[in-house]
Amino acid sequence: MSRPLWWLAGAAWLALAGPTAAQTAWPSVALPKSVSAFGIGEQITANGLPMRVQGFVSQAKPAELLEQFRRSLGQPLVENTLGNKQILGRAEGRYYLTVQIEAAGQGSKGLAAVTDMKALVQGQEKAQDNTARWLNRLPSGSRIISQISSRDGDKLDTQMVIVNGHSETLNGNALKSIMQNDGMELDREAAPDDKALNRIPARLANSKTLLFKGAGKEAVATIARDGNGSTAIVLSIVTQMERYR
């Protein structure tokens, strides 16, 4: 249920949404021959901002790869730096093409995204509605730090990070109630084993994981409390989209 998240840092892009976007032919980012691309779901939504994204790796150095993308993307280009990442952007009609590149070992890695500028307002409204729905059901004072969704075939994978000041027990009971209302029952509860304890930070040693299952959907929630009185919840929900056809 997990997927790599390194590519999310700095991915503050605009969104696609709605029937009009679905009916329009999307442009694609032309990739240089020196890169190897891989898919990241059919569509991803980060904090309410949907996008079409593909990752890539290359043996070329970032500076060399940047020059290759400058030629393949065309002009005019907008160039920015975000931390150790170089970002190229160009508008194409109602769409915006973005490339993000950073060093990886002896070569480079990055991602290419296409977003629909016209869907920004609609995407924000949907995100606000969904956030409000979750906050109304979570313990008081909860904050949703991030919410990422990706669609891959007939599966929708949603990952959320939630923070509040309540105990693991209270949060666990709240999640059990929410999942039950959403058609899922607790399948089992687990704590980190000895092998896992050697790999995770000490602050997560007392964490616990709840696994839920239902018809056409399942969820995993990891709850951990730090030494500053805060509790973090990492929640992943996978839904079979065919249930809604």
Looking at residue 45, what is its pLDDT?
67
pLDDT at position 164: 94
Please give the average per-residue pLDDT across 55-81, as a whole number: 91
Given the structure tokens 């009009």, which residue do they identify?
A: 20
Beta strands 95-104; 78-82: pairing state: unpaired
Mean per-residue pLDDT over the chain, rounded: 78
pLDDT for 126: 72
Residue 3: pLDDT above 80? no
Task: Determine which of 1-15, 105-119, 180-194, 228-242 has the lowest per-residue pLDDT on average.
Answer: 1-15
Same fold, 6-118 and 137-244: yes
**Residue extents of the structural domains in the chain:** 6-118, 137-244
pTM: 0.57
Tell me the fold of 137-244: TATA-Binding Protein (3.30.310)
CATH 2.60.40 fits 6-118, yes or no: no
Inform me whether the pLDDT recorded for 4 exceeds 70.
no
With DSSP H G I counted as helix, E B as strand and the rest as coil, what are the percentages for the chain, rounded to 5? 25, 45, 30
For the residues of 62-115, what is the DSSP string, one character each? Answer: HHHHHHHHHHHH-SS-EEEEETTEEEEEEEETTEEEEEEEEEETTEEEEEEEEE
Residue with more model confidence, 24 or 187:
187
Please write the tens of the pLDDT for every residue from 113-140. Answer: 888 776 666 666 677 788 889 999 999 9
